[in-house]
Amino acid sequence: MGGDSEPKENQIYAVPALTIREVLEDTLHIFGSLGTAFSPDSHKLLELKERINEGRFHLAVLGQFKRGKSTFLNALLGETLLPTSVVPLTMIPTFIKSGPARRAVIYYQDKNKKTDEIQADEPEQLNAFLRKFVTEVENPKNRLGISQVEVFHPASILRDGVVLIDTPGIGSTFKHNTEATLNFLPQCDAALFLVSADPPITETEVKFLKEVRSKVPRLFFVLNKIDYLSPEDKDKALEFFRKVLAEQAGIDSGSPVFCVSAQKGLEAKEIENPQEWIKSGMEAAEKYLVGFLASKKIKTLNEAITLKTHDIVTDALMRMNLTINSLKMPLADMESKMAIFETKLTETQRDRISFGDIISGERNRIVESLYEYAQQLKKKARLYLESVAIEHATETRMLLDENTAQEILDETIPGFCEHEAGQMRRIFDQRATDLLKKHQEKVNMLAESIRKTAAQLFDISYQPLQHPAVMPSMRELYWITQKWDASFLPIPFGLLEKFLPKRVREARVHKRIKSQIVSLVNYNVGRMRLEVQENIERAYTAFARNLDSSMQEIISSIHIALKTAFTRKKDQSETIADEMRELESAAIRLVDIKNKLVRDSVYAKQLIKN
């Protein structure tokens, strides 16, 4: 009968966080006892250990103006740290991270400008500091040019690697905010969407949710301000909200929805009243965040690290067995096999160079495709902006002048460009990622051909590496900020133009506006294209660099093991017997660790193919 819960033979499982740390420590100890030959393996394990320590869960908090996002976050933190306002806050994302004390850092769009920073003894100090930068009253339209804010706090919810991200309010007068938020969401692990009972979910929020649902892996909801409702009205509001989510936003009706009073929860935390904290509904939401969402992130991270550790151990075992078998082999046989292996390496190097040329050509084709995409986007942008400006004049039955056109474009261009820039990034990032992924499979096959040849020549068991996805070192999330240009160039006016017939004057104005729009489109789309092209260039350059280094690493590690054994054998070293005993002992211990990774873990990930 069995069932899915029964372990299968030769199956890798992702071990719990504490166990994988123990495995890494044990393996590091073994490699350390063998001298410099296994230093590269130790370095890889230390990187994996760092990945565990740095693993974070990034949660974006979304919501419309005056829904209570900042109050909800303050309740989770346990004090009034973030500013709240009766007018919209400005377009500044705030990243809230774990730290030993209250601290805030302000980053500017101008990278040459020094950051502003404060360490505060009291929450009121930090709140007052933040108000100067993130409120529309003190920093209207972000005239200070802030890119993002980081807040550090010792709140318990942040200690397990949760990073809370307060995003600009959607549906405000700044359409740029909404588009920037949508472009940022794919970097996050989950998003919390906050609505309130006064009023219920709006058309703007529904439209936004339709865009959000495909951009984050997990999405859940908070219905705030339930203290304004009777129990009966609360049930009706929740039923209505779920119905709208399912029927209008296309979101699973089973998605988690938490009914809370963030304000009551904040008050309960500030006076340390656990009963009121539970009553506010905040405890249930907090437990879900920490206990469910963050644990899933940790589980996924451990699965990847378990696979990667298994590969490192498997590869090290192969090299140990290569050395042991080589030392046992007659010198003449060893020389013959070394010559065959050298021929294989020469062939592989030729294949690697040819493969590099293919990758370079493909990168050029993607860049050409990007240029064609940008040319089409210019046409689309020009027609759209012209229609917006001219339609306004038609609807208002007025003569369109440059000042009016400037106002219209000031409102239209940032949102339009932010949306199109996000589309361009996603399309070409995905295209480059898909192609590089296919190339990675070919690189893995090339590398495995070297390992397989060595195993066959020196009569050791061969097991291919699993080659789990490359795990880059932890990077900070990046909120891309652009200041899209919507400003007209100075226009020289003829003194007699105001005396021309209205039709002629209007034609001249329209011609000048269209000319200005062409210039603005060329500039803004050019910036988009350049940014995406630089990302493509970086990705391909990094891939080519990793190709060279990974191939060199495999070749040199096997080469060094064989050459060292050959030298010892040729010199008839008296220490050969001792070295073999030490390697055989280490190999036995590594087999135990490998079996631990295979047998003693919890979550199935991937079959080991013999």
Query: Does residue 218 sit in the same domain as residue 308?
Result: no
Would 259 be classed as within a structural domain?
yes
Say whether both 28 and 107 belong to one domain. Answer: no
Residues 342 and 448 in one domain: yes
Report the C-alpha gap between 532 and 34 in whole angstroms. 46
- Do 317 and 266 lie in one domain? The reply is no
Helix residue ranges, H only, 55-86: 69-77
What is the tens place of the pLDDT at every residue in 132-188? 998 888 888 788 888 889 999 999 888 877 889 988 877 654 566 677 788 888 878
Q: Is residue 291 one of the residues assigned to a domain?
A: no
Within a domain: residue 295? no
pLDDT in the model for residue 580: 84
Q: Does one domain contain both 533 and 610? A: no
Mean pLDDT of the chain: 81
Whether residues 416 and 561 fall in one domain: yes
d(CA 601, CA 147): 43
Q: Which pLDDT belongs to residue 479?
A: 65
Average pLDDT over residues 468-480: 51
Q: Output Rg (C-alpha) for the chain, integer angstroms.
A: 31
CATH number assigned to the domain comprising residue 128: 3.40.50.300
- Give residue-wise pLDDT tens across range 541-552: 888 887 777 777
Winning range, highest mean pLDDT, from 14-23, 223-232, 259-268, 442-451: 259-268
For the stretch 552-596, pLDDT in tens is 778 788 878 888 787 777 776 667 787 888 889 999 999 988 888
Kindly report the pTM of this predicted structure.
Answer: 0.71
Q: Chain centroid to CA 195: how far?
A: 26
**Is residue 322 in some structural domain?**
yes
Residue 273 predicted with pLDDT over 80:
yes
- Residue at 3 is within a domain: no
- Residue 435 located in a structural domain: yes
pLDDT value at position 278? 95
Verify that 253 and 322 share a domain, yes or no.
no
Amino acid at 315: D
Q: Where among 250, 280, 310 does a domain terminate?
A: 280
Residue 1 has a pLDDT of 37
* Domain range enclosing 379: 332-573
Which one has a higher pLDDT value, 526 or 444? Answer: 526
Q: Is residue 288 one of the residues assigned to a domain? A: no
- Per-residue pLDDT at 119: 93
pLDDT at 263 over 90: yes
One domain for residues 529 and 584: no
Q: 293 in a domain, yes or no?
A: no
- Determine the pLDDT at residue 474: 38
Q: Are residues 445 and 512 in the same domain?
A: yes
Per-residue model confidence as pLDDT tens digits over 453-469 = 888 988 888 888 776 55
Q: Residue 92: name the closest of 150, 18, 7, 53 by CA.
A: 150
Residue 298 makes CB contacts below 8 A (sequence gap 6+) with 17, 55, 57, 161
Percent helix, strand and coil across the chain, each to the nearest 5: 65, 10, 25
Indicate if 143 and 219 belong to the same structural domain: yes
Q: Are residues 261 and 205 in the same domain?
A: yes
Most confident of 61-75, 174-188, 486-500: 61-75
Mean pLDDT of 402-415: 81
Tally of domains in the chain: 3
Q: Is pLDDT of 601 > 60?
A: no
Extract the tokens encoding 422.
Answer: 């996000």
- Say whether both 386 and 419 belong to one domain: yes
